[in-house]
Structure 1
Amino acid sequence: MARQAFQGLTRVREKFILPDKNLLRWFPGHMAKGLDQIQSTLKNLDAIIEVHDARIPFAGRNPQIRNITKIRPHILLLTKSDLADDKHRERIVHKIKEEGIRNIFHMNCKHKYVTNYIKNTVFPSIWQEIESSASYRREGDTDYHLMIVGVPNVGKSTILNKLRETFTNKGKGALVGAKCGVTTSVMNKVRVSNNPSVFVYDTPGILTPYIPDIEVGMRLALCGCIPYHLVGEEQIVDYMLFWMNKRKHYAYMETYNISEPTDDVYQFLTHVAKEKKMVLKVKKSKFFQEATEEEKFKPDFHAVAGSILRDFQNGDFGKILLDDEALAMDSRQVRTNGEL
């Protein structure tokens, strides 16, 4: 079906164009304040847990955060791994390790055995990192202090709560939400373990103040790391359509019962609106009586775009690695160097 469908798509965009690049600029005051608070708290920390979305393992990881993590023991958790295409996982890990990060874990926080994974795999690596950097420990301090950092909406607060659940069987210690920006300050430390005594700081998601690459920004927006309404739900769906068509990834056709692929976002939204019955009734006018029954209703583009983005977040289009081009560039460089 996909091959036949592709024959019907006569033209695919080679480049995604965003009408206004400023739509990708989002660095509210709490981010700048949060970065200052992280730096001031650094002297009290034993280790840093960086959290990022496994669908974008490279895009959007704040270089300012990376500089901070270089001076403390550091592990990287790639969350939402159930939504990410994992066939290139080894290459992703290898590329990240070139940054000097030794411990990288893929995690699905919804998995029923996630607490066992934290207890038996993730935490032992944290202790090993801390013990191998004993000079950071404060003399006479029997408590351990960790901090969770990363861009918005990658699951930092969820990780904190899972740590708390794993070792204390207690409820939530941090607020979580489906939208980014739920945590807006470095909160008071939350105890996640009694033996040993471990406290964790939750932090606000912090983006780089300027995103120079449009595609990087759109990938962050598609994963919900930038609020949908700032970029525009319809613009983000348009990027999703562009990304999928460029890679001949036509899962959206089956999801919405579309007979052939399309590169026209409003044609796409119109079809999905009919499938989901998300239409608005047109107000009566002098032409209303002459209009066909179909013309008496119009698609609710805003609502249907939001619905499509929720479907994306639920994994309805299959497992996806949005940062695939970063690996392709790396592969081309390797071939240039004559190593393959």
Structure 2
Amino acid sequence: MFVPRTVFPDYRVLLAHYKGHQSKAIKRMGELSPQINLVLELRDSRCPISSNNQILENIFRSKDRIIIYTKKDMFTIPKSLLNKWHEPRNEKFISIDTNRKSDVLNIIKLLKDYHNKLYPQPPLGLRLMITGMPNVGKSTLVNQLRKFGFNNNESFKKVAQTGNMPGVTRNTSEIIRISREPEILLYDTPGVTLPHLNDIKTVLSLYLIGTLNHNEIDPIIAADYLLYIVNLSNNKSDKVFKKYLKTPTNDIYELLTAVSKKMKNAGKIGKNWKPNYLGSAITLIQEYRMGKLGKICMDENVLRGISSEEFNDSIIEENTRIQGMLSESTSTTSKTSSKTSNKPSKRERLVKQSNQLFV
């Protein structure tokens, strides 16, 4: 009888994946926050917990917010589970497929209802900001909202650049109109990750769904985590990888060898046949991202049935970690600034030198 692994090795991987444009984006979000009426925070349904960014929650703590779980076509989170997570926290949420018109129209209805309940009515229109980690579907949603928000009465033109790789949007957009009656406008923002992720499983989960594009992550380790999650979720590897395997396995090299044989992704050294492990691992990762392996959730806590209390505790714990990280960063910056401030500026030195001429 097949028994799946219950422990994944603690490989050494780089946990920091922060980019310069992300720091700039966070600063810009903070500057625009006073103008915003409502925040749409996007999370990926395949990683509903790992794609939650507490930095964004801290920036918009005082703002109304709707959490949108995208890519439900690739994994559908049971609504009962989402209710358990969000109802105790009084959080509004919705799951969507950004390519499905009915789902986009549901969001537009939510926005119009929200606008109509505001009193007094915002004189400059309802202003939104769409936030989230990289590659969770923000720019696709912006384009769809604009397309269907105008009821196709105006010629549609994409206003947000989209792509399969993270980091396509690099700057916070100018204000974008998605509806005239009522007036609804929004900002599209770059995807923002955390300065330092908490563990290897979070890194690998975000890498597998395409949120992280990091050259230092070994595709073989990522493929091994994919195999681990597949078996852990009772989707035995012989079912998910049925075109490669006849029996389930915990051995990633057995799977990669089978992929090499099937894809002819191998090489010969003399008379010896050698599987291409790296190429096969990349093939599996691409198949998962394209949805060819079925609907698989990459968050282990979801598979283990995390309770509402555990979910809330994880949010508090993550928020505490982020606050400590930000405080440490501020402290370091302050020390650097104080050291710098003790040194006279170039202007002060020039003034002093000029004054000395007249002493």
Normalised to the residue count of structure 1, the TM-score between the two structures is: 0.81
2:348 alignment counterpart: none
Alpha carbons of 1:255 and 1:332: their partners in 2 closer, same or farther (altered >3 Å)? farther
Q: What SS is found at the alignment partner of 1:76?
A: strand
1:330 alignment counterpart: 307
Q: How does 1:231-310 map to 2 (within 5 A)?
A: 231-251=217-237, 253=239, 254-282=241-269, 288=270, 291-292=271-272, 295=273, 298-310=274-286
* Greater RCO structure (CA 8 Å; 6+ sep): 1
Alpha carbons of 1:177 and 1:280: their partners in 2 closer, same or farther (altered >3 Å)? farther
Kindly provide the CA deviation profile for residues 147-197 of structure 1, in whole angstroms up to 9, marking residues without a partner as x: 110011110000001011112341211111111111111122222223333
Alpha carbons of 1:48 and 1:198: their partners in 2 closer, same or farther (altered >3 Å)? same
Between the two proteins, what is the percent identity of the paired residues? 25
Kindly provide the CA deviation profile for residues 77-113 of structure 1, in whole angstroms up to 9, marking residues without a partner as x: 1111011144x322223312333312x11111233xx
Amino acid at match of 1:90: S
Q: What SS is found at the alignment partner of 2:307?
A: helix
Alpha carbons of 1:123 and 1:305: their partners in 2 closer, same or farther (altered >3 Å)? same
1:45 aligns with 2:62: no
- CA–CA distance in structure 1, aligned partners of residues 58 and 169 of structure 2: 22
Amino acid at match of 2:56: I
Alpha carbons of 1:280 and 1:188: their partners in 2 closer, same or farther (altered >3 Å)? farther
2:12 alignment counterpart: 20
Alpha carbons of 1:273 and 1:16: their partners in 2 closer, same or farther (altered >3 Å)? same
Alpha carbons of 1:245 and 1:117: their partners in 2 closer, same or farther (altered >3 Å)? closer
- CA–CA distance in structure 1, aligned partners of residues 207 and 50 of structure 2: 11
1:32 alignment counterpart: 23
Kindly provide the CA deviation profile for residues 218-238 of structure 1, in whole angstroms up to 9, marking residues without a partner as x: 221221111153422222111
Contact 2:84-2:307 within 8 A present in 1 as well: no
Kindly provide the CA deviation profile for residues 242-289 of structure 1, in whole angstroms up to 9, marking residues without a partner as x: 11223331255443231222222222112112111222454xxxxx2x
Q: Which ranges of structure 1 fall in alignment gaps of 5 or more residues?
A: 1-6, 283-287, 335-340
Aligned-CA RMSD value: 2.5
Q: How does 1:4-153 map to 2 (within 5 A)?
A: 7=1, 9=2, 12-22=4-14, 24-86=15-77, 88-102=78-92, 104-111=93-100, 114=101, 116-119=102-105, 121-132=106-117, 134=119, 140-141=123-124, 143-153=125-135
2:184 alignment counterpart: 198
Q: What SS is found at the alignment partner of 2:259?
A: helix
Contact 2:238-2:249 within 8 A present in 1 as well: no
Contact 1:51-1:76 within 8 A present in 2 as well: yes
1:177 alignment counterpart: 163
Q: What SS is found at the alignment partner of 2:215?
A: helix
Contact 1:251-1:317 within 8 A present in 2 as well: no
Q: What SS is found at the alignment partner of 1:229?
A: coil
Alpha carbons of 1:262 and 1:205: their partners in 2 closer, same or farther (altered >3 Å)? same
Q: What SS is found at the alignment partner of 1:329?
A: coil
Aligned match of 2:143 in 146, 161, 184?
A: 161
Deviation at 1:332, TM superposition (A): 8.9
Contact 2:98-2:104 within 8 A present in 1 as well: no
Bigger Rg, structure 1 or 2: 2
1:311 alignment counterpart: 287
Shifted more, 191-200 versus 303-312: the winner is 191-200
